[in-house]
Amino acid sequence: MPQFTDVDKIRESLEDREFDILSDIATKARNTKGRKIKEEESSTRTCFQRDRDRIIHSKAFRRLKHKTQVFLSPFDDHFRTRLTHTLEVSQIARSLARALNLNEDLTEAIALGHDLGHTPFGHCGEGVLNELVKGGFHHNIQSVRVVEVLEKLNLCYETIDGILTHTWGYTPHTPEAQVVQLADKIAYINHDIEDSIRAGIISESDLPKDCIDYFSSVQSKRLNKMIMEVIKNSIGKSQISMSEEGWHYTTKLREWMFDNVYIDSPAKLEEKKARRVIKELFYHYCEMLKPICDESKIERVVTDYISGMTDRYAVEKYKENFIPIGLQCGAKEDYLFKLANVID
């Protein structure tokens, strides 16, 4: 293995290595379409490695630890949060990228950034904002807004494209983004099954028999089978996908989870309350900003503010604004007003 001897040329050596090792279809750092704001290159990291590091060090990434995956504010430490979901997506995506000789650094950056714009209370919170905001609200679009506008991370085009297109229905422009799109589905189907079993909402015997016969009822075997389906079906191809049969059973399992867990199950009993928290805060902050903010900006400012909240922060803000308490000094909405002054 050649050793780096010149610190100033480490990045160049890493870029050379990508051309030596990676697949012809892999996205090479040296061939990036670049950043919106041009900046000096690192001497030791490729552009995609820098993107990954910027995302990990962002405030939005840290807040994911207190945002819902499926179960609202779980008391059990073993239930997934939005952060642990993100880490599992990253692990699966990296495994796929490595096996397929794709750019693991770009894949990891996309995976770590894909849910930065997610709301408190998971898809319940997203649904409420989608109803309230003109033009709708979608967490993948908000994730791009987080990295481009709110935190100004100045990421590469390829990373931003992957974050935007991780949601099904979008068309990724790199094989690495295709990997993350699949890894996201594989991750949440499997870990949501495990969490739902832990919560006593379903049992292994409830899962569709044909899906279990194909994948296995054992979590690790089912997960491995889905990953191997992608690898075996994608080697030597420009399109990253599962086999037709594997995708059929994956989709069926996902639909079963929607029918039995994601919609109208005990996991969703508190969502009516969560919806009210988001709704009331939205209207409250819109009213609060009217005297000091251009009306055309108010909805955008409030949407950015609320979508960035963690579950517990949203609950605390609801208590502070709507639950009567004894005289005390409450926290000021400094960041809300700061956003009002800087966002166009």
DSSP letters, 255-281, are: HHHIIIIISSSGGGTTHHHHHHHHHHH
Helices (H), the chain: 10-21, 47-56, 59-63, 82-99, 104-113, 122-132, 139-145, 157-164, 175-198, 209-215, 219-234, 244-257, 271-289, 295-307, 311-322, 334-342
Q: Is 174 exposed, middle or buried (0-12, 13-18, 19+ CB in 10 A)?
A: buried
Question: Is the CA virtual torsion 19, 22, 25, 30 positive or negative?
Answer: negative
Nearest residue to 176 (alpha-carbon basis) of 126, 219, 114: 114
Q: Is 325 exposed, middle or buried (0-12, 13-18, 19+ CB in 10 A)?
A: exposed
Nearest residue to 144 (alpha-carbon basis) of 188, 121, 178, 110: 110
Predicted confidence at residue 335, as pLDDT, reads: 84
CA 27, CA 158: separation in Å to the nearest integer? 9
Instruction: List the structure tokens of 165.
Output: 């297109």
- For the chain, how far is it from start to end, CA to CA, in angstroms? 51
CA 55, CA 69: separation in Å to the nearest integer? 19
**Contact 183/98 with Cβ under 8 angstroms?**
no
**Sites in the chain below the pLDDT cut of 70:** 1-5, 73-75, 267, 327-331
What pTM does this model have?
0.92
- Per residue in 202-260, pLDDT tens? 999 999 999 999 999 899 999 999 999 999 999 999 999 999 999 999 999 999 999 99
Nearest residue to 314 (alpha-carbon basis) of 151, 119, 141: 119
Predicted confidence at residue 341, as pLDDT, reads: 85
CA dihedral 315, 316, 320, 322 (to 10 degrees): 10
CA 142, CA 250: separation in Å to the nearest integer? 27
Q: For residue 296, which amino acid is it?
A: S
**Contact 13/70 with Cβ under 8 angstroms?**
no
CA 319, CA 302: separation in Å to the nearest integer? 18
Measured CA angle at 52 (ends 72, 183), to 5 deg: 55
Q: For residue 206, which amino acid is it?
A: D
293 three-state secondary structure: coil
Q: How many CB atoms lie within 10 A of CB 335?
A: 11
Provide the CA 143 distance to its chain's centre, in angstroms. Answer: 8
**Contact 66/313 with Cβ under 8 angstroms?**
yes
List 168's β-bridge partners, or say none: 170
Predicted confidence at residue 72, as pLDDT, reads: 79
